[in-house]
Amino acid sequence: MIEGKEYRVKKRACKNPTKKKTKVASKGHVLLEDVQIDGDYESDELGSSDPDDSDREKGPKYEKFRKTQLCKTFQFKVGVEFSSTKEFKEAIIEWTVLNGYEIKFVKNDLIRCRVVCKKREKDDCMFLALCSQVNGQHTYRIKTWDGDHTCLKVGENRSATSKWVSKAVVPALISNENLRVTTIMDDMRRDYGVGITFGRAWKAKMIAREIIDGDATKQYSNLWRYAAEIHRASEKNTVKINVERVGPTLQPRFGSFYFCFEGCRKGFLNGCRPFIGVDGCHLKTQYGGQLLIAVGRDANDQYYPLAFGIVEVENKESWR
């Protein structure tokens, strides 16, 4: 009791309770000055959860697949997670090719992929792998893995598709544009121990060239979008596309493409000599054509680009 006021104190059990006599002021009340709060006193409001306990509630952690770690000795196991079934298929194909085995997909859709050995019926090879989606999430996990092949290795591996071979051809084709098909076959046998046919190597070279240069047909269809983007950047930019109408029911055929940037035009008028030179070069693409350019001379006697044009052939009509 303090200054005539009464305080009710609720006592809680502690780990090491100690008995202590208290002075009773009146029935059912104790003096506040005689109450000692134990050091192990726990409060529901101020208590905090143990971080170790919260980690245990999250469940087991699964290993994420990293493409940079994939090699001949890489160990797949149950629980490895992938971002998509496509990533799993590419990884399992490369792993089996590097180890000299052939596989086939008995189940292959957007949510699951089941792989078995191609010699399962012939040599009774029990290799089996299953990767499927996890509870509708954007995660795919290996749920079944029996990676022990009991069959013999092969030299002419059909699992090494032209699409897989093209990934190895891209660096070589960038450094050497005249890469021969027979060279691709020799490189695959030397570096990966895989034998491929001439037709598969040729197709892989075509895929690799398309990866490097892009699809020419799709690039022509994007010209209108490119022209709209140039106008969006600056309304004073000049763009003109000419097409040839072959027939009312046929797609228009590309004729020529001209563009000039506002910055180049202003720079030429304000800082270059009153001289314009023209030149052109051939485009080494599937459809050919020529690139025409108008240049000037700046104060440092250097070439200054002014306008560009892409035409089928260089003649008086195209320079207009």
Q: Are 316 and 293 in contact (CB under 8 A)?
A: no
Q: Is the pLDDT of residue 177 over 90?
A: no
Is a pLDDT exceeding 60 seen at residue 21?
Answer: no
In this structure, are 171 and 263 located in the same domain?
no
Q: What is the CATH number of the domain that holds 112?
A: 2.20.25
In a domain, 154, yes or no: no
Q: Is residue 153 part of a domain?
A: no
Residue 22 scores a pLDDT above 50: no
Least confidently predicted of 11-25, 58-72, 262-276: 11-25
Domain that holds residue 72: 67-146
Compute the average pLDDT of residues 130-151.
88
Residue 290 lies in a domain: yes
> What total number of domains does the chain contain?
4
Q: State what percent of residues in the chain have pLDDT above 90.
A: 23
pTM: 0.55
Edge-to-edge order in the sheet of strand 290-297:
238-244, 253-260, 303-311, 290-297, 277-282
**pLDDT above 90 (res 23):** no
User: For all residues of the chain together, what is the average pLDDT?
Assistant: 80
pLDDT for 8: 57
Distances (CA, A) of 306 to 229, 242, 280, 311: 19, 20, 13, 17
Pick the residue with more confidence: 219 or 89? 89
* Alpha-carbon separation of residue 44 from 12, 49, 142 (angstroms): 11, 11, 43
- Judged against a pLDDT cut of 70, whether residue 307 lies above it is answered with yes
Q: Is residue 53 included in any domain, yes or no? A: no
Residue-wise pLDDT for 48-105, tens only, equals: 445 545 445 555 678 888 888 888 888 888 999 999 988 999 899 888 888 888 888 9
| pLDDT for residue 41 | 47
88 and 4, same structural domain? no
